[in-house]
Chains A and B, each alone.
Chain A
Amino acid sequence: MTSLFSLPILSQQRIAPGIYSLELSTEGPFPARPGQFVDLKIPGKMLRRPISITDITEDRLILTYRVAGEGTAILSGMKPGEVLETLGPLGQGFVLPEESSHLLMVGGGIGTPPLIYLAKEALRQGHQVTVLFGFRSPADTLFQEELKAMGVDYHFAYDSEGENVVQLMQRLGLDDLPFFACGPMPMLKALCKAGSSDGQCSLEARMGCGFGACMGCSIKTRNGMQRVCKEGPVFSKEVLLWET
């Protein structure tokens, strides 16, 4: 159930240019599924900032964020011991298939974090997982250590080397696998066009409340208007219309 938590910062670390890893202390595992997100109250800012869940351990919630503007810049200056008022878990998350299968996780840039938790969960459930992550350049690479430690099959694509994740997927001949994706809109669109008919995409929207009350984040889908914060942020490929 969604609640407000006061979570102390355990550590904060710059892991790539402009990218931070944030560990928050929780009492027991944070009750979220892969693909759900939290909404952080940033001191001095009115609206909360939605951030996906990178991973959950027995006593910590791990987030990864890019300094994108004023709010995330303030966040990056916060110190261990400071407390973040965290609303969550929010949204519906990814849905893994019941029977074990070979699954593709496709992430671009700062869209990669939720796929770490998802890949771990998929492996736990006995699926075979291939991870394809795209970054601007090798210096921007995220999560290489985590992927190595998981023992999962993974491949990176770099814009600076002239290949994006969708091209990588095609080169590896993986375009028939059910995919789970998060990243920039153009990447998601291209992936839905080139990839399997069975796919799920996690979307972003500017949000007012984050919990369904304001209609600030609604998009038009084949199932009518849906709130990115409540029915989303993960949508199955077949309902997406890509209008906004």
Chain B
Amino acid sequence: MGNLNVVLSGQEIKNPLIPASGAFGYGMDFLDFWDVNEVGSFSIKGTTILPREGNPLPRIAEYEGGMLNCVGLQNPGAEAVRNEILPELRKIYHGKVFANISGFSIEDYEKCAEILDPDPSVGWLELNISCPNVHGGGMAFGTDPDNAVAVLKAVKAVSTKPVYVKCTPQAPDLTYMCQALEQAGADGLVLLNTYLGLRLDYRTGKPILSNTTGGVSGPGIFPLVLQKIYQIYPKVQIPIIGCGGVSTARDVIEMMSAGAAAVEIGTAGLIDPMSVPKILQDLPRCLEELGVSNISDLTGRAFK
């Protein structure tokens, strides 16, 4: 039996599968289907300092390779997440989660981190500087290395937990961005958030999504994200969590081979709520087939 454990900044998780932010809620909605304690960790819905209603409907469109969304960071705000949601989450989930935080100013991120960092269920902070669906926040920080570094430094100064930065493929020079973040003290990188995309209605020719554009996710972006991980891995020392389009155990193996230490999975779990447990079931067989005893040995295999 292969060993699925991986270590992320000194904290071990029992397998490298991490349901991604915004596609797993707070874990509760999957309980009808499987015991969410099967995953090593998961990332909670993007949290902002103030409650957000998100964008009007429609927020969802489809394409051959997956979906587009413009949910727009609907969440009850950091205080409610800490005081009301995380205590509920602890009843159903015993591991530690990634607190995905977002904002519209450096101060927003800092305050959000101050509130969530001390929570016992939070194992890592995940800085979402990559949301394409809000104006004047999110991705605006992730496309400019100076802004990104400023957010990171402010958050690092108020947090005790490892800080992972979730990057956007819209960054003009992603390698430079990742190196700048590493230098500024990032504990890890999450590559990537969604790609900016658009769908128009066949009949009217007008945008389907209320926010005109949306974030493209799902199997269709897998090769694009894989290429970015392959590109960044040799250029940084900190761990990379791969995220984008993973839907099978083989995708997990491939993404780890490109350099990912662990893998987040979003859209696949929305399309089929059983996809994560199915992947977990298949992974040991893949390791056996490959003659690998520790899954962590696969990380960066492409370069060995």
Interface residues of chain A, those whose CB is within 8 Å of chain B, are 1-4, 41, 45-48, 69, 87, 205-209, 211-220, 225, 230, 243-244
Q: Which residues of A contact B66 (CB under 8 A)?
A: 46
Pick the residue among A1, A2, A4, A216 that contacts B69 (CB under 8 A): A216
| Secondary structure call for the A interface | loop
In whole angstroms, how far apart are the Cα atoms of A211 and B69 in the complex? 16
| A151 smallest CB distance to B (angstroms) | 37
Q: In the assembly, what is the distance between CA of A244 and CA of B30, in Å?
A: 27
With both beta carbons as reference points, the residue of chain A lying nearest to B24 in the complex is identified as A213
Q: What are 6 A-to-B residue pairs whose CB atoms are below 8 Å?
A: A1-B32, A45-B62, A46-B62, A48-B271, A209-B23, A211-B273
- Once bound together, how far apart are the Cα atoms of A243 and B210, in whole Å? 13
- Given A3-B32, A4-B274, A213-B270, check contact A218 B64 (CB 8 Å): no
Chain B residue at minimal CB-CB distance from A85: B272
- B69: A residues at CB distance < 8 A: 208, 214, 216
B158 within 8 A of A: no
Q: Are A225 and B274 in contact (CB under 8 A)?
A: no
| Interface residue B67 (Cβ < 8 Å from any Cβ of A) | yes
B residues in contact with A48, CB < 8 Å: 271
In the bound complex, do residue B56 and residue A214 qualify as a contact, i.e. CB atoms below 8 Å apart? no
Other A-B pairs beyond A87-B273, A212-B25, A216-B60, 17, CB < 8 Å: A2-B32, A4-B33, A4-B274, A47-B62, A47-B271, A205-B57, A206-B60, A207-B60, A212-B28, A213-B24, A213-B270, A215-B22, A215-B54, A215-B59, A218-B71, A225-B54, A244-B57
- Indicate with 1 or 0, residue by residue over B40-75, a CB within 8 angstroms of chain A CB atoms: 000001000000011011111111111101010010
Query: Nearest residue in A to B27 (C-beta to C-beta)?
Result: A213
Which residues of A are found within 8 Å of B74, using beta-carbon distances? 215, 218, 225
* Chain A residues with CB under 8 A of B60: 47, 206-208, 214, 216-217
Alpha-carbon separation in the docked complex, A64 to B272 (Å): 23
Q: How many A-B residue pairs have CB under 8 A?
A: 96
- Which residues 217-272 in B have Cβ within 8 Å of A in the complex? 218, 269-272
Nearest-neighbor residue (CB-CB) of B52 within chain A: A225
CA distance A217 to B22 in the complex (A): 13
- Check if B35 is an interface residue, CB within 8 A of chain A: no
Contact B56 A244 (CB under 8 A): yes
User: In the complex, A216 Cα to B64 Cα: how many Å?
Assistant: 18
CB distance from A36 to the nearest CB of B (A): 13
Residues of A contacting B218 with CB < 8 Å?
46
Shortest C-beta distance, A187 to chain B (Å), equals: 18
Complex contact A4–B273 (CB within 8 A): yes
Q: In the complex, which residue of chain A has the Cβ closest to the Cβ of B30? A: A213
Chain A contacts for B71, CB-based, 8 A: 214-216, 218
| Residue in contact with A206 in the complex, picked from B28, B58, B273, CB distance below 8 Å | B58
Partner of B29, one of A47, A212, A218, A219: A212
Question: When chains A and B are docked, how far (Å) is the Cα of A213 from the Cα of B28?
Answer: 8
Contact B56 A46 (CB under 8 A): no
Quick one: which of B32, B53, B58, B61 contacts A211, CB cutoff 8 A?
A: B32
C-alpha spacing A214/B24, complex, angstroms: 7
A209 to B218, CA, bound (A): 13
Please give me the residue from chain A that is nearest to B220 by CB atom: A46
- Cα A220 to Cα B62 in complex, Å, equals 23
CA distance A157 to B22 in the complex (A): 43
Given the complex of chains A and B, what is the CA–CA distance between A187 and B277 in angstroms?
43
- Contact flag A230-B29 (CB < 8 Å), given A46-B62, A206-B57, A218-B54: yes
For A225, the chain B residues whose CB sits under 8 A away are: 53-54, 74
B119 to chain A, nearest CB (A): 21
Separation of A41 and B32 alpha carbons in the complex (Å): 18
The answer to whether A214 touches B270 (Cβ under 8 A) is yes
Bound Cα distance from A215 to B54, whole angstroms: 9
A94 to B60 Cα, complex, angstroms:
25
